[in-house]
């Protein structure tokens, strides 16, 4: 059975009731893993509480951080600070130097673009080449596609079509996530795959972007964060009994 | 000889705090279809609202097989009806109404 992943469920972590509602809805929609963005200074207790809430519903909680650095030094400092703390690290690219650095840094899992702003779209061929080498994936959020209307939505669809074509030609993995801040914007994976045809993604690649691609990112990072990990391709199989 | 066009039936759940009339649901889907694919695209859809259960907030649409992905995307992209938030979730898709009802009741 396909395990669907919503890598960006923007549930409010301060409003527990709303969070529970959104997490339950997400499970009902068919998702089995949910990446909830957390602040960089989140306490471990809070993470455990969220993990418990999600597991009560049947969802596998994925800790995620969204970095929004203004320049390269800030990005590097933040990455050093958060990489061992979160399962998924996403970088919102708001300037070209930051986008380039994020695409070539192996510590970055997801490149996130500000979908509402046309000027902040930096995913071109050079960016795709860097992202393909560092196995960083491009994230497409579906919430703006549902909330925008008229000319802004037309521009958004046109940009997404171009970016998906570039990503496909450079074999950059694409992840599709809800980006939902409200449960009315949440849709099932099959609804999202139908919406993805608007920017020329085939149904099978859209479903992969909602299941196998984000699952691979999460599993890779969980392996890296486990105590048994030594280096890429090297992990502890067994420990000597004391 | 002109072959009969293949059709598909979509059952969907309406999620909203309000309840709506059949015409409002139909218009919302038509508007969404025209917004996304234009009048030319909408003319190829063969869209028809077959059933609407106001109590259970479920409806069944009929469309042509060729336009299924277009209609599915249009149904999924409805977010409000007269400024009231709403979400349509496609439950099942089938080739006949009878098979669809069977799948829904299973």
Confidence of residue A44 (pLDDT cuts 50, 70, 90): confident
- The answer to whether the CB of A112 falls within 8 A of the CB of A139 is yes
- Can you name the residues that pair with B94 across neighbouring β-strands? B9
Which residues of B lie closer than 8 Å to A, measured between beta carbons?
15, 35-36, 69-70, 72-73, 75-77, 79, 85-87, 89-90
Which of B14, B15, B61, B89 is best to mutate for the A interface (most A CBs within 10 A)? B89
Give bridge partners of residue A112 from the DSSP assignment: A92, A139
Judge: B72–A146 Cβ closer than 8 Å, yes or no. Answer: no
Place of tokens 């299941």: A211
* Residue partners of A189: CB distance under 8 A and separation at least 6: A2, A4, A29, A30, A31, A207, A210, A211
- Non-local (6+) Cβ contacts of A79 within 8 A are A67, A89, A105, A107, A108
Positive or negative torsion for Cα A213, A218, A221, A226: negative
pLDDT at A50: 92
Residues A199/A161, Cβ–Cβ less than 8 Å: yes
Say which CATH topology domain B7-105 has: Alpha-Beta Plaits (3.30.70)
Q: Are the C-beta atoms of A225 and A84 separated by less than 8 Å?
A: yes
Torsion (CA) A35, A211, A167, A185 in degrees, nearest 10: -60
Write down the domain spans for chain B: 7-105
- How does DSSP assign A153-199, residue by residue? HHHHHHHHHHHHHHHHHTT--EEEE---SSGGG---HHHHHHHHGGG
Query: Which of B69, B79, B89 has its CB closest to that of A146?
Result: B79
Res. A150 pLDDT band, cuts 50 70 90: confident
Q: Band the pLDDT of A206: cuts 50, 70, 90.
A: very high
pLDDT at residue A179 tops 80: yes
C-alpha span between A180 and A144 (Å, rounded)? 9
Going by their DSSP bridges, the two strands A60-67 and A31-38 should be labelled as: parallel
Within an 8 Å CB–CB cutoff, is residue A204 touching chain B?
A: no
Which ipTM did the prediction report? 0.91
A137 neighbors A171 (Cβ within 8 angstroms)? no
Q: Does B87 sit within 8 Å of A185, measured CB to CB?
A: yes
pTM as predicted: 0.91
User: Would you call A200 an interface residue with chain B, using a CB distance cutoff of 8 Å?
Assistant: no
Contact A140, A170 (CB under 8 A): no
- Element at B55 (helix H, strand E): none
CB contact at 8 A, A236 and A230: yes
* Mean pLDDT rounded to a whole number for chain A: 91
Cβ-defined contact of A197 to B86 (cutoff 8 Å): no
| Residue B2 confidence (pLDDT) | 66
Average pLDDT, chain B: 92
**Structure confidence at residue B4 as a pLDDT band (50, 70, 90):** confident
CATH topology of domain A4-235: TIM Barrel (3.20.20)
Instruction: For tokens 């909408």, name the residue.
Output: B42
CB distance A156 to A145 below 8 Å: yes
Over residues B36-58, the mean pLDDT reads 93
Q: Give pLDDT, residue A123.
A: 87
């Amino acid at each position: 059975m396909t395990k669907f992943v919503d890598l960006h469920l923007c549930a409010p972590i301060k409003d527990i009731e709303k969070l529970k509602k959104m997490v339950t809805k997400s499970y009902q929609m068919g998702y089995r893993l949910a990446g909830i963005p957390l602040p960089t200074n989140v306490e471990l207790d809070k993470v455990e509480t969220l993990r418990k809430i999600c597991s009560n519903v049947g969802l596998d909680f994925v800790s995620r951080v969204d970095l929004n650095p203004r320049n390269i030094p800030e990005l590097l400092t933040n990455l050093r600070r958060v990489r061992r703390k979160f399962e998924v690290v996403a970088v919102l690219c708001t300037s070209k130097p930051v986008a380039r650095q994020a695409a070539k840094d192996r510590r970055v899992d997801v490149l996130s673009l500000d979908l509402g702003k046309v000027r902040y779209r930096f995913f071109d061929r050079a960016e795709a080449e860097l992202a393909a080498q560092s196995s960083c994936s491009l994230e497409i959020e579906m919430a703006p596609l549902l909330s925008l209307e008229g000319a802004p939505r037309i521009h958004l669809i046109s940009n997404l079509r171009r970016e998906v074509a570039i990503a496909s030609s450079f074999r950059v993995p694409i992840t599709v996530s809800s980006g939902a801040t409200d449960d009315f914007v949440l849709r099932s994976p099959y609804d999202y795959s139908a919406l993805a045809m608007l920017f020329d993604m085939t149904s099978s690649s859209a479903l992969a972007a909602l299941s196998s691609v984000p699952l691979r990112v999460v599993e890779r990072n969980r392996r890296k964060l486990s105590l048994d990990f030594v280096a890429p391709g090297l992990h502890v199989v067994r420990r000597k009994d004391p | 000889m002109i072959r009969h066009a293949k059709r598909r039936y979509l059952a969907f759940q309406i999620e909203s705090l309000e309840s709506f009339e059949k015409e409002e649901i139909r218009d919302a889907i038509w508007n969404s279809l025209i917004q996304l694919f234009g009048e030319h695209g909408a003319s190829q859809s063969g869209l028809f609202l077959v059933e609407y259960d106001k109590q259970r907030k479920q409806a069944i649409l009929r469309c042509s097989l060729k336009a299924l992905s277009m209609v599915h995307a249009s149904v999924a992209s409805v977010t409000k009806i007269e400024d009231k938030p709403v979400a349509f979730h496609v439950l099942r898709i089938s080739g006949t109404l009878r098979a669809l009802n069977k799948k829904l009741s299973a």
